Amino acid sequence: MKDDRINSIMDSDKTWERPATNRPRMPRSQRAKQFAPFDALSGLSEILRQAEEEHVKEQERK
């Protein structure tokens, strides 16, 4: 039954149309910025490096 519905949708000749909106389309250059990678834990690697150095120094003292 579910397969019949899927097949009927896939076999349909109707094309999908974007819904009407009052907003202007955003340029691709602007859209790309919202998905740009970011460093959520900025500075973490520096803190870990410092902690490692302190730990090594402690171990050398023993």
Residue that wins the pLDDT comparison between 46 and 3: 46
Could you read off the pLDDT of 17-37 as tens digits, one per residue? 777 888 888 887 777 776 777
How far does the chain reach from its first CA to its final CA, in angstroms? 73
pTM of the model: 0.38
**What residue spans of 1-62 are helical by DSSP H?**
2-11, 28-34, 44-61
Q: What integer pLDDT is reported at residue 1 of this predicted model?
A: 61
Place of tokens 């000749």: 13
Tell me how far apart the alpha carbons of residues 4 and 20 are, in angstroms, rounded to a whole number: 30
pLDDT of 60 over the 80 cut: yes
